[in-house]
Amino acid sequence: MEIIRKKVKDLLEMQAGSEVLAKGWVRTKRGNKEIAFIALNDGSTIKNIQIVVDKNPDTEAVLARISTGSCIGVEGTLVESIGSGQAVEIKASNITVYGECDPVRYPLQKKDTSFEYLRSVAHLRPRTNTFGAVLRLRSQMAFAIHEFFHSRGFVYLNTPLITAADAEGAGQMFQVTTLDLAKVPLNKKGQPDYTKDFFGKQTSLTVSGQLEGELGATALGEIYTFGPTFRAENSNTPRHLAEFWMIEPEMAFYDINANMDLAEEFIKSLVRYALEKCYDDVKFLNDRYDPELIERLQGVVDTEFVRLEYTEGIKILETAVANGVKFEYPVFWGADLQSEHERYLVEQHFRKPVILTGYPKDIKAFYMKQNEDGKTVRAMDVLFPKIGEIIGGSEREADLGKLEARIDELGMSRRNLEWYIDTRRFGTCPHSGFGLGFERLLLFVTGMQNIRDVIPFPRTPKNAEF
Ligand code: 4AD
Ligand code: MG
């Protein structure tokens, strides 16, 4: 009778006694004259299953072909383990070597296991314990996000990646073109003639699905997007990627307060999910790198976030400066907050997450609802320990006249946005939404320090390897 392969995660939870088949990659091989121990991992869990092989001339020949990184299949009996660390192990009766792994050339053999080195072998780093844990967490978090919104009746809306609109108005877009860059056709003004381009107009990769999300919300009520987002900002920081994933819920009939309530509930539910459903991986990262990780995650789940006006935030920061706290960037009303400022508020002053609202309109996007003071908008940024801004959102300007005036005031072109402005022409409604940076969430949940280490294949300035 043929034995069906079982995943290591399931094998480790089985009772001893049955004949089993496991397949995976060898993490380590060690032993003595009589016996060899192989730690086998198949990616289903952070844990390895121990394979015990009695040495004899037959098995010696197979064992000689096995080293760290090789891929094998093992048939044998699941037995109780006398060693510590695992309840069961496999006493091997037959081993198949699928792929040998040259110990001299295998890049993960090297002593250098720094994250920097591992980025240079990002095609293999998922085989390390750390990246296995991070990538499983990433997948689980994606699932938790869909579950959160589906259980609340939100519609998952797919918004385009290629667009003619600059949703954030920040001009940080990657252009998409099929024009021959060596001989770009020019119009009468000597500018590129985009009518000759693939789409007949200038297009780029999207910086946000929000504008289309608003079209969805004003028809379906509550929607969310979850997809790749591209920004050509030349910021080489541990918190920025040129290609990242964003989750953008957009809700009709939510004001800024309902928006904040949802953001807080959303992020707490995701962190709770990580603690409950991904405990092994979180615990591994906690014990290996960041002994306060679990405490920090639990802290977020248990506390009420602070809600604070930008103006109040600036006062706190100015007081800090007056008391000798040093920041690299200046603090004044009107300044865009840097992550050092955000982290001061969260980590030093309040010691809990902060939702900052009422930002100056000049540092925020055109679509945000303007307050009566004429100076501020109903923006909300959720600021987190270690991360700074994890969510950015707002109540939207629902008034046609005010929206058009703001677009003009900023010197933006209305022509590419007519379809968006239609939401305010035809049955406009109060509505709100926000964007959660998926990798920023993962930085928080994993305790990793660099955003390049929570996405399988990071894209950053001067780096599009793999
Ligand atoms: O604050 P942002 O720019 O907001 C928007 O794009 C809105 N359209 C969202 C909305 O209201 N629907 O970006 C939202 C979040 C940030 O808070 C941050 O977590 C993340 O996206 N983010 C980045 N993450 C990684 N790399 C980058 N370059 C990022 N830029 C923004
Ligand atoms: Mg923002």
CA-proximal residue: ligand 1, atom 21 (nearest): 437
Residue 412 dihedral angles phi and psi, to the nearest 5°: -85, 160
Q: What's the rounded Cα separation, in Å, for the pair 49 and 344?
A: 44
| Cβ-contact 285, 463 below 8 angstroms | no
Residue 98's pLDDT band (cuts 50, 70, 90): very high
pLDDT (tens digit, 9 = 90+) per residue, 290-312?
Answer: 999 999 999 999 999 999 999 99
Q: Just give the CATH number of 8-106.
A: 2.40.50.140
Ligand 1 atom nearest to 393, measured from its CA: 11
Reduce the DSSP state of residue 398 to 3 states and report it.
Answer: coil
Mean pLDDT, to the nearest integer, of 354-381?
A: 97
Q: What's the rounded Cα separation, in Å, for the pair 126 and 399?
A: 49
Q: Cβ contacts of residue 353 below 8 Å, gap of 6+?
A: 300, 303, 305, 306, 346, 382, 383, 384, 385
Residue 372 dihedral angles phi and psi, to the nearest 5°: -65, -25
Pocket test for ligand 1, best of 224, 229, 356, 460 (most atoms within 8 A of CB): 229
Say what the pTM is. 0.96
pLDDT (tens digit, 9 = 90+) per residue, 426-464?
Answer: 999 999 999 999 999 999 999 999 999 999 999 999 999
What are the counts of helices (DSSP H) followed by strands (DSSP E) for the chain?
Answer: 13, 16
Nearest ligand to the CA of 394 is 1
pLDDT (tens digit, 9 = 90+) per residue, 318-350?
Answer: 999 999 999 999 999 999 999 999 999 999 999
CA-proximal residue: ligand 1, atom 29 (nearest): 240
Q: What share of the chain in percent tops pLDDT 90?
A: 94
Query: Which residues line the pocket of ligand 1, CB cutoff 6 A?
Result: 167-168, 208, 210, 231, 233, 240-241, 244, 246, 248, 389-394, 433-435, 437, 439-440
Residue 26 dihedral angles phi and psi, to the nearest 5°: -75, 125
Q: Go through the chain and tell me how many residues it has.
A: 466
Q: Which residues belong to CATH 3.30.930.10 in the chain?
A: 126-172+207-453
Tell me the pLDDT of the chain averaged across its residues. 96
- Identity of residue 255: D
CATH architecture assignment, domain 126-172+207-453:
2-Layer Sandwich (3.30)
Residue 360 CA to ligand 1 center (angstroms) comes to 18
Which stretch of DSSP H or E encloses residue 271?
helix 256-277
Q: Which residues belong to CATH 2.40.50.140 in the chain?
A: 8-106
Q: Is the dihedral of CA 59, 61, 64, 70 positive or negative?
A: negative
Q: How many CA atoms lie within 13 A of 445 on its CB side?
A: 33
Q: What's the rounded Cα separation, in Å, for the pair 86 and 78?
A: 12
